[in-house]
Amino acid sequence: MKIALIAHDKKKQDLINFCVAYQPVLSKHQLFATGTTGQRIMDATGLSIYRFQSGPLGGDQQIGALIANNEMDSVIFFRDPLTAQPHEPDIIALLRLCDVYQIPLATNMGTAEILIQGLKNGDLHWRDIIHSKLEDTVE
């Protein structure tokens, strides 16, 4: 599975702690992240992560493009709902794309826990079915 990891500044440490706790599960998947968040997670966990630009510089949109092309399977985005974000339209567009393309999205620790447990238990294999159907239509 391809998993995007994103966190606003005040939530980065929470996401790092989450990734440390679930490093054994996350290590079995392809991970993507926005700039600083990805580097900090890699430094703390040793996980291999493909890093995009930082969110305000287009990283959210880069992840959104993967979602629109059905190349992302889930998004863990620890948002800070109490701080205004200068790139709020990009954030809303990313969340909208998750809804449009039915991509599992966790925006807080509680939902991320449920998502990661589902991933661990194989409850997201329906994404593999979608990928195989897309491959069949391309051939």
Query: For domain 2-138, is the CATH number 3.40.50.1380?
Result: yes
Mind telling me the catalytic residues? Answer: 60
Chain-wide mean pLDDT for the chain? 90
Mean pLDDT of 35-62: 93
Q: Per residue in 17-36, pLDDT tens?
A: 999 999 999 999 999 999 99
pTM for the full predicted model: 0.90
Go through 11-35 and write b for each residue having 16 or more CB atoms within 10 A of its CB, e for each that does not. Answer: bbebbbebbeebeeebeeeebbbbb
